[in-house]
């Protein structure tokens, strides 16, 4: 949690898109920016090098106001996937409330996916977050490409973990919103347990997810001025 100021009535939640280099983290955010209505979100900030590789992070903010008046900002970050940017990945992970791990579906990327997931677990521990408790969803991106790992193989790999799994093509624009909505749901469940979003702020799981992704059909929730 980046900030929770009960007097000012402000909560700032942090979600992080993690994964190996070139798996499509930045493309996921660009897709969310294009597909979700602008009423509940701010502008996408993309910090690229000349070769379109993230060196710091990208940021897409979303806003809602709970029935209690609590103004909630959800900051969605990407990390740079290249191995050499580990210090930046660690910095971006700090105080994360939820993580979407974006894997590359191509068979030749399986080792990079596994290495990056191990790196996520190590960095979570280093920044004081419990990998077993942190809300997590996994997305296998680039399903539009040839030479990809079959779905049932991926499902068997992750089934024991119980982590929600999604298949997507951020380039074609499918699977991306589903992944984000699930990340919002699992993050809400965790935050509700600690901050009583439902009881104290009248904010249900559905209102939270819907208020952030389709604000025009969520009467009673307004864009915050955060």
Q: Does 26 bind ligand GTP (CB under 6 A)?
A: yes
Q: Does 91 bind ligand GTP (CB under 6 A)?
A: no
The beta-carbon contacts of 173-176 under 8 Å, at least 24 apart in sequence, are 173/31, 173/34, 173/35, 175/139, 175/141, 175/143, 176/28, 176/31, 176/32, 176/35, 176/139
Are the C-beta atoms of residues 100 and 17 closer than 8 Å to each other? yes
DSSP H/E element including 10: strand 10-18
Q: Which stretch binds ligand GTP (CB under 6 A): 15-23, 60-68, 193-201, 212-220?
A: 15-23
State which of positions 22-41 bind Mg ion (CB under 5 A).
25-26
Query: Binding residue for ligand GTP (CB under 6 A) from 54, 112, 149, 213?
Result: 54
Q: Which residue has the tokens 């103004």?
A: 71
- Percent helix, strand and coil across the chain, each to the nearest 5: 40, 25, 35
Residue 21: contacted member of Mg ion, ligand GTP, none (CB under 5 to 8 Å, by partner type): ligand GTP
Rounded CA separation 169/156 (Å): 21
For ligand GTP, the closer of residues 27 and 119 by Cβ is: 27
Q: Which stretch binds ligand GTP (CB under 6 A): 37-45, 63-71, 73-81, 114-122?
A: 73-81
**Going by C-beta distance under 8 Å and a sequence separation of 6 or more, which residues neighbour residue 125?**
131
Displacement of CA 210 from its chain's centroid (Å)? 15
Q: Which stretch binds Mg ion (CB under 5 A): 48-56, 139-147, 187-195, 208-216?
A: 48-56
Kindly state the smallest distance separating residue 135's Cβ from ligand GTP, in Å. 20
CB-nearest residue to ligand GTP: 81
Q: Which stretch binds ligand GTP (CB under 6 A): 88-96, 127-135, 167-175, 195-203?
A: 167-175
Contact positions toward ligand GTP, by CB under 6 A? 19, 21-27, 52-54, 78, 80-82, 141-142, 144-145, 169-171
């Amino acid at each position: 949690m980046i900030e929770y100021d009960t007097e000012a009535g402000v909560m700032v939640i942090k979600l992080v898109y993690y994964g190996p280099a070139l798996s499509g983290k930045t493309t996921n955010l660009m897709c969310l920016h294009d597909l979700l209505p602008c009423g509940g979100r701010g502008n996408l900030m993309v910090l690229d090098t000349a070769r379109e590789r993230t060196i710091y992070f990208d940021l897409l903010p979303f806003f809602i106001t709970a029935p209690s008046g609590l103004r909630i900002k959800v900051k969605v970050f990407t990390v740079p996937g290249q191995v050499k940017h580990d210090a930046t990945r660690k910095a971006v992970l700090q105080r994360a409330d939820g993580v979407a791990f974006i894997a590359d579906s191509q068979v030749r990327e399986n080792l990079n996916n596994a290495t990056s997931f191990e790196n996520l677990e190590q960095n979570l521990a280093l920044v004081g977050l419990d990998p077993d408790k942190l809300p997590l969803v996994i997305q296998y991106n680039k399903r539009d490409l040839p030479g990809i790992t079959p779905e049932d193989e991926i499902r068997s790999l992750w089934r024991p973990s119980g982590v929600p799994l999604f298949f997507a093509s951020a380039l074609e624009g499918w699977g991306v919103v589903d992944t984000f909505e699930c990340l919002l749901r699992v993050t809400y469940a965790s935050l509700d347990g600690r901050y009583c979003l439902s009881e104290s702020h009248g904010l249900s799981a559905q209102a939270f997810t819907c208020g952030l992704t389709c604000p025009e059909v969520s009467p009673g929730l307004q864009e915050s001025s955060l």
